[in-house]
Structure 1
Amino acid sequence: MSVSSSVTLSGWRWRQHGKDDDQPWHQCAHNRPTTEIFTDLLDAQIIPDPFLDQNERHVQWVGETDWEYACDFQYEPDRSHARQDLVFDGLDTVATVYLNGRGDEILQSSNMFHRHRVEVTGKLRHGLNTLRIVFRSALHYGRELEAKHGRYRAFNGENSRVHVRKAQYHYGWDWGPLLVTCGPCGEIRLESYASRVHDVFVDAQVAEDLQAASVRVSFDAILNQDVSVDIAIVAPSGGEVVRTSTALGAEESRGSAALVIPKPALWYPVGHGPQVFYLVEVVVTGRRDQVPLHSVRKPVGVRRLRLVQQPLVDEPGTSFFFEINNEPVYISGSNWIPDHSFLTALTARDYASAVGMCVEGNQNMLRVWGGGVYEHDAFYEECDRRGVLVWQDFMFACGQYPCYPEFAASVQREAADQVKRLRQYCCIVLYAGNNEDYAVAEMLKLTWDRADQSGDWTKTNFPARTLYETHLPAVVSEHSPGIPYHPSSPWGGEGTEDRTVGDIHQWNVWHGSQEKYQLWDKLVGRFVSEFGMLALPAAKSVRRFVTDPAQRYPQSAVMDLHNKADGAERRLALYVMENVRVDSMDLDSWIYATQLVQAECLGFAVRSCRRQWKGPGRQYCGGHLVWQLNDCWPCSSWAVVDFYGEQKLAYYAMKRDAAPLALGIMRSTPELKALKSPPPQVLGPPHDLAPKHHIFDVWAVNGTVQDVHAQIDVRLYDIATGALREERRLGSQALLANRTTELLQDVSVDEKTAVQAIMRDIRDGGRVIARASDWPQPLKYVALAAPSPDLLALSVLDGKLEIRATAPVKGVQVYLSQQPDDDRDVSWEDNGVDVFPDDVYTIHALGLVKGDKVEVRHYGSTS
């Protein structure tokens, strides 16, 4: 239809730069449009795989080296195409671009996040053309900038990284390797046309009563004649169409038009309604001859968004929650780091799989963390399609960043380039200025006077405040005015640890004061945007990246190299030894122990946060985002899904506790329950010898948009014998929509009793729709049932597994016993479960076949 063409360049070749010009080129082993040096060196078998063993140590020279890439492309002139542009979606990072010759420089770029459109009209040859890109070492470049502009502190990676606008995690993090890559990481296209529009933005403002949407369609234009621009918005059903048109003269570079959609079909996050999209079509036509010149088509979701920060009933501070289409949405999600150290190795299917894992885990938000990248379009497209909300950081993390004029100008352009790209995705509900840079300012005692609202702090030792509070919000306001801006994460109140205002990163479990995770209910904030517990990856994953069997033990050199967390050996041992029995230090037992502790910790954290979602005016916690969903390489980390896609026990624990309908139980003492914060940690006798009176509470969470009536039973079992000590039938309970309902308070319980609560659907024959359990803490003191052949019984059926127990059993992990010639995989719907007498626990399992041998491990077992 359109008189324009676009050709994506591919077929790259590469070599080391700065050597003899006659040195041979290496052809990329693939024909993808994007690539980078590490994947190409791997394909050429020049370097060992840095993800395996200790090979990371042997490839550091790559980041210290300059490289160059080249590719050839054909161009045949077309008289209807008056202009030719080379469009660069991203270059990583310090790049000089040449067209058809060493001296024909067309572009210099030193910001990985810039997008470029370079006019090359009249510079192209008929037939074969060559594009060549020289990439300088970002490490060397950053050190030169540091020598010129001064040293600024960075936590994780070398200090020079803060001067370089590159993915910061490439410099190494406390979960990621030091692999400073480079290359044509974004698509490069040759676009030929006469006139075109780009950066089309459909800004839909939904009325408060949701009965109409005022739509402004704006765009940039490159024109060589007077044109008409016709705009049509097609309803999700494909039926009714809203149309308008506008005219632009050849000299104009921007245009817009306004429309109104009556009674719009609205886009909702997962669990709250459908994900529907209008189709917006923009067609450019020459006014003189009525010839179509260019067209743009894009799906657009329409929704009303608010970040609600308002006073609360009975508690200090203000709320922090998201409201979509006038409906409060409790956030249950994860932090998202780049899914690979080499991003060009990822495909759209990889992003779809990761977002799908988020949805399947009952999560509705991903926070794109500020030390990675503004993600690939495929990521946001999938979040739009699946109804996953996105909290989008700007790319600054854990550092004291500069703000000298050229740096600030580069950042302002970066922000505009990326916000204009991302603003059409309705999944994005917040922009945050950085990750933890105000916390860094507090740690370094930088100048941060909240009363100083001058807007220019470049002369202080916290110059980046000017970026976060002046430049970035201005860009968001100009280019995406409907999205809230948050200066940092964490941010709010009296400092970054204020639990009553804004969001917090709750790292006083693991980092900080290293509180016991059983105190998590004392650590909840208005919105907890980071928290976590470290664990090892799955045993089958360890066997993939540790190739030498002699290194497959918890304290080996390879295992330590693949654990980047500072002091991890001590902290992990602290939390494991403080909480669970460790009968063996073999690798599989240690993996299970760390994953069980992670699951226990994160499950209780999720329950503690969700409990505080108590209805209108009482949204004391608006959401939680675990650190982290994923890994960028194989390692021990805080991820709940390891690099190879294996779900840790914590993934399932969080899935259960974040389910639309869920139960919660908390055991405490009256004295501890009354506290609002953890008690001070004091040195003294190792044990309090006074007898304690233990109590427990039970509550239910209805995260759906409908009131629910359910039957709830609570049972108390003797752990050692399996005898039922007490049963409380609570009968039919009315669970109001979108909030927590308290069910039982201060019920006495002793240290030999485990508690189970079961929720049944009274409309569906008493089908179990939620379970919860509670055990004496710490688990290492619990007197478990004696091992016996009939303690657990498994029934393997097609597509499901049934588990029965004669006494309470903790943390039952099931996995397929595979033969060497069997590469089948089973997708478990649930795992790491607590099984009680009188209750058949059914786990659906895609790929499971009756007769399969299923292995089992549980807390206290030795297999």
Structure 2
Amino acid sequence: MVSLTRNILDAGWEFKQVGAIGVPEPQDEFLPVAQFPTNIHLDLMAHNKIPDPFIGLNEYKVQWVGEQKWLYRTFFTVGAALEGEKTVLQFNGLDTFAAVSLNGTKILESENMHRTYRVDVTSTVKENSNVLEILFDSAIIRGKNLMKERDFKPVGITSGATDKSRLLVRKATYHYSWNWGPELTTCGPWRPIYLERYISRISDLSTKVSVSVLDETASVCVSAEVENGKGNHSISFTIIDPDQNVIATEVAKISDSGLCSVQLKVQDAAFWWPIGLGKQPLYTVRAKLIRESKSLHERERKIGLRSASIIQRPLIDTPGTTFFVEVNNVPVFSSGSNWCPADHFVPRVTAQRYRKLLKIFIAANQNMIRIWGGGVYEEDIFYDICDELGILVWNDFMFACGTYPADAAFQKEIVAEVENNLKRLRHHPSIVAWSGNNEDYLFATLFKAEYDINDTNPENWLKSNFPARYIYEKVLPELCTKLIPDTSYHPGSPWGGKYFNDPTVGDTHMWEGEYSFPQLWDLLWHHISRPWQEYPKLGSRFVSEFGITSLPHVKTIESYLVDSPASERHPHSRTVDHHNKELQHERKLATYLIENFKYGFGLEEYIYISQLNQAEAMTCAMRAWRREWKGPGREYCGGALIWQFNPTWQVTSKALVDYYNRPKMAYFTVKRDIAPISLGIERKEIKKPQFEFTRAFIDKETRFLGWATNVTMKPVTYSLTVKVFELSTGRDLMTRVETRELAANISTELFDLELPKSRKSTEEPLIISTCLRTLSDNGNEGTVVARCTNWPQPYRYLNMPKPKLDICVHGDIVTAKANVPVKGFTLYVEDVDGVEFEDNCLDLVPGDTQAVVSHGLNGRAVTWRYYGME
């Protein structure tokens, strides 16, 4: 008997242009590829055939690339096949319309970037030399032809990308441009290609885990599917614990249908937990296909022993239902952000780059990441790292912002795509939820598609101009029930309740705020640009998207200005504007900045003030929504995910880190606001007329309310300090110190106090500061656990005093203190990529010295900026 052999075909690849259209100098000779896997833009750049489209305005200059046909080929050798041995080519990803030939014989027509294809080439492959060719057609041209041939007329516009033909093409939507990404339509073999030879193989290995947290036990049902396993075949199943000890083994026969399964028990189980709640031990499940005592094929999966589900149940004293993730019977508040592909050209994202980004993610105390439906089903290594780090993953299926078709052929393609990816990914403990689409229900509603939420007849859905509802509410849930019955499925994001963005049921995208019933939407950022100070009123059961734009680091901007004249180094230059894809971004960003701050128009200051605006907005939202995590039956908000964590190129966007992994100021404020223990303050002005109808004689009282959120599993006791300062003098008007206990996994209201009067002037701005410190056994205060400040707004009304700063650098520790309150104190170094700060964008108050830990400082000069700095 012969064991399975598998070889990656990654050597000797070359490419050229075929049938050039409108290109002055066609590339009609084969050139070696830049790497493998690859795509056409990477290869053309490597040979200086096109300029880097990420630099300057070069995106415009390379549009022709996406409208051409490109041929890739390689040569490989194989030995003679043994009797009964099958030869298969496996294509893990072809982008997108591809005709594949082996030795001149067409073996595959691909039309889906998101799928893996396996092709039996036993009768086509030759002993010794073979040639494999892949001809990639233009997704743009093919998509437009499909629209014309099918007379496809989707309802309404499409977000970001204006090309409606994308709805017919199973390609990453962001390639068609988005409001944070370029229009660069790729093609090429974007994932590995393998050559396999075998007589029998394990075609699928899956597990179903049941846990008993109380008993510390788990039951693992392991199932395998075998290709050509009839006869005297069996499978040996083994579970190996995180310490590499074999803890259970069983051998089972294979049924005539090729299926085999066993039930294995785990005693003293080590459970998998999200980051912050416990460890992330991973068990190995191994299956070995055996015949006549010989191993023919082995497969294994890393699994975590855990239960996870989205909990939707009635709330106490309020309408609607909860929406939060529960892991191992423990409710979890989901704090995190949305993930876009780490690069517009995914083949150049290395495992090291994935790991660095995801470590930056958890370093900001984030515990959930949502894979957005306009990108790709991510690489295996992405989910492996999420498993290791304890990151909860919400994964959209790849539909975004449009009314997709749902004819029989399209459905068939979707079924194959979804089955492929669910089987590939279902073993990952990090994946706790799948969602049918991104904002498709929103588009169907806003553009008045034939969508009756009360119509429960699936056949009617197919007859409407929103037929994709059939996919989201029938096809996908049936596939999930079949393949991942223990993982929660949600038909869309946002979805739930009386309409797509009902704040009382399901999740919402907070580009809109509802103030009353019936529906009344005021758009935050996208349309009316409501003040971000209204975020506390715009909460919901789970906010899965919200955000505010800011410019990236100055060196990131300079990276795309390298070939531009000096005049383009300006926040409103043509080139900088080109790297901001948001519709009407000039008006939107200007509105938020002018409403809130005084500022100049130098590039560095504009970057700073836009990032400070984003940081303040995210703080306002995160503090308020975490406050609504009030315990069993009162989980009024179960999570908040910022749009977005990362961009795909150097761009002005809502991301927390920029293309070069450089954190923005909001990254640090969010890190503090979603820490295991965090503080919040609300300022309220109460006006009472002294008598009826008066406008002149009004009694005013200003109160400030404070709360803390503890998302750990233990109650804690801390020393709470509350202070009120005059802004201009730094004078302490009030100090209150008390011991407070914070219950586990809940927010706790701390105080409701009247703001004291300034001794200087009734118009003197007062700054509120709170701080939690640990307590030793003898009652002495120790280290700071959390800080929070509250400032009167808008900031543009404040005359910021010139502080006396004391900044000291001791090795890798930077300490800062000030004699008056300081807003947005931010540290910088020239070698930005050589130094990492654990904290930044601080609010300083008198008497509180703050220390920032850095990594890699090594004597480098430190500079800083704060709001109002000359």
Note whether the superposition's TM-score is higher than 0.5.
yes
1:536 pairs, out of 526, 539, 551, with 551
| 2:821 corresponds to 1:834 | no
Alignment of 1:493-532 (within 5 A): 493-507=497-511, 508-532=523-547
**How far off is 1:765 after superposition?**
5.0
SS of equivalent to 2:135: strand
For 1:178 and 1:156, the matched residues in 2 are separated by 10
**1:463 to 2:467 alignment:** yes
TM-score by length of 1: 0.94
Residue 464 of structure 1 deviates from its aligned partner by 0.6
1:449 aligns with 2:438: no
- Quick check: 1:737 aligned with 2:744? yes
Q: For 1:203-218, list aligned pairs within 5 A.
A: 203-207=208-212, 209=214, 211-218=216-223
Deviation (angstroms), 1:541 = 0.9
Q: Which amino acid aligns with 2:771?
A: I
Q: Distance in 2 between matches of 1:592 and 1:768?
A: 27
Indicate conservation of the 8 Å contact 1:2/1:295, yes or no. Answer: no
Residue of 477, 480, 483 corresponding to 1:479: 483
Q: Which amino acid aligns with 1:64?
A: E
Q: SS at 1:625's partner residue?
A: strand
- Secondary structure at 1:279's aligned position in 2? strand
**Aligned-partner Cα distance in 2 for 1:48–1:389:** 39
In structure 1, C-alpha distance between the alignment counterparts of 2:819 and 2:378, rounded to whole Å: 49
Tell me what 1:282 maps to: 287
Q: For 2:278 and 2:577, how far apart are their aligned partners in 1?
A: 45
DSSP 3-state at the match of 1:669: strand
In the TM superposition, what whole-angstrom CA distance separates every residue of 1:361-404 from its partner, at most 9, and x where no partner exists?
Answer: 10001100000000011110000000000000000101111112
Aligned AA (1:541): T
Q: Matched residues in 2 for 1:724 and 1:267: separation?
A: 47
Structure 1: tracts of 5 or more residues without a match = 673-686
Conservation of the 8 A alpha-carbon contact between 2:333 and 2:639: yes
Are 1:600 and 2:616 counterparts? yes
CA RMSD of aligned residues (A): 2.0
Q: Secondary structure at the match of 1:500?
A: coil
Partner of 1:565: 582
Q: Which residue of 2 aligns with 1:122?
A: 123
Q: One-letter code of the match for 1:794? A: I
Number of the residue aligned with 2:171 = 166
**Aligned partner (choices 807, 827, 830) of residue 814 of structure 1:** 827
Residues 574-610 of structure 1: per-residue CA shift (max 9 Å, x gap): 000000111x211111111100000000011110111
Partner of 1:844 in structure 2? Answer: 853
1:5 aligns with 2:8: no
SS at match of 1:145: helix
Superposed displacement of residue 207, structure 1: 3.8
- Shift of residue 706, structure 1, vs aligned partner: 1.1
Letter in 1 for 2:810: L
Residue 115 of structure 1: CA displacement?
1.2
Distance 2:850 2:756 in 1: 24
Deviation at 1:257, TM superposition (A): 2.1
Query: CA separation of 1:465/1:749 partners in 2, compared to 1, >3 Å: closer, same or farther?
Result: farther
Hey, what's the Cα distance between the residues in 2 that align with 1:670 and 1:238? 64
Aligned pairs for 1:87-236 (under 5 A) are 87-101=90-104, 104-149=105-150, 150-152=152-154, 153=156, 154-157=158-161, 158-207=163-212, 209=214, 211-223=216-228, 225-236=231-242
**Offset at residue 515 of structure 1 (A):** 1.8
Q: Is the 8 A contact 1:714 1:756 kept in 2?
A: yes
Please give the alpha-carbon distance, in whole angstroms, between the structure 2 residues aligned to 1:43 and 1:483.
43
User: For residues 671 and 275 of structure 1, what CA distance do their matches in structure 2 show?
Assistant: 52
TM-score, L = length of structure 2 = 0.93
Q: Does structure 2 retain, via aligned residues, the 8 Å contact 1:603–1:657?
A: yes
Residue of structure 2 equivalent to 1:755: 768
Q: Which moved more, 1:551-560 or 1:541-550?
A: 541-550
Gaps of 5+ in 2: 512-522, 689-694, 758-763
Change (3 A) 1:74 1:361: same
1:436 matched residue in structure 2: 439
Aligned residue in 1 for 2:685? 669
Kindly indicate whether the alpha-carbon contact (under 8 Å) linking 2:247 and 2:266 is maintained by their aligned counterparts in 1. Answer: no
Question: How many angstroms apart in 2 are the aligned matches of 1:474 and 1:212?
Answer: 30
**Could you say if the C-alpha distance between residues 593 and 749 of structure 1 is closer, same or farther in structure 2, counting changes exceeding 3 Å?**
farther
Which residue in 2 is equivalent to 1:273?
A: 278
Give the AA of the match of 2:848: D
Partner Cα distance (2:83, 2:798) in 1: 80
User: Quick one: which of 261, 264, 287 aligns to 1:259?
Assistant: 264
Q: CA deviation at 1:341?
A: 0.6
Task: Give, as a single letter, the amino acid of the residue that structure 1 aligns with 2:114.
Answer: F
**Hey, what's the Cα distance between the residues in 2 that align with 1:635 and 1:606?**
24
Instruction: Specify the alignment match of 1:552 in structure 2.
Output: 569
2:20–2:69 contact (8 Å) kept in structure 1: no
SS in 2 for 1:469: helix
Letter in 1 for 2:420: D
Q: Which residue of 1 aligns with 2:399?
A: 396
User: What's the counterpart of residue 691 of structure 2?
Assistant: none
In structure 2, the residue matched to 1:675 is none
Distance 1:516 1:694, change over 3 A: farther
> Matched residues in 2 for 1:65 and 1:238: separation?
51
Query: How many angstroms does 1:747 deviate by?
Result: 2.9
Superposition map of 1:375-386 within 5 A: 375-386=378-389
Matched letter for residue 569 of structure 1: E
Aligned residues: 831
**Residues 791-834 of structure 1: CA deviation (Å, up to 9, x unaligned):** 2121011111000101000000111145xxxx872101111110
What CA distance in whole angstroms lies between the structure 1 residues aligned with 2:696 and 2:390?
Answer: 50
For 2:854, what is the secondary structure of its paired residue?
Answer: strand
Residue type at the aligned position of 2:73: A
Q: Which residue of 1 aligns with 2:426?
A: 423
Q: Could you list the per-position Cα deviations for residues 210-250 of structure 1 after superposition, in whole angstroms to 9, with x for gaps in the alignment?
A: 5432322122211265311010112223335112221126x
1:3 Cα offset (Å): 1.6
* Structure 1: distance between partners of 2:715 and 2:466: 50
Alpha carbons of 1:2 and 1:722: their partners in 2 closer, same or farther (altered >3 Å)? Answer: farther
Q: Check whether the contact 2:208–2:221 (CA below 8 A) recurs between aligned residues.
A: yes
Q: Is 1:792 equivalent to 2:786 in the alignment?
A: no
Three-state SS of the structure 1 residue aligned to 2:722 is strand
Residue 454 of structure 1 and its aligned partner are, at CA, apart by 1.3
For residues 315-373 of structure 1, the C-alpha deviation after alignment (integer angstroms, 9 at most, x for no partner) is 11110001100111110000001111100011011111111111001000110000000
- Change in CA separation of 1:261 and 1:753 when aligned onto 2, cut-off 3 Å: same
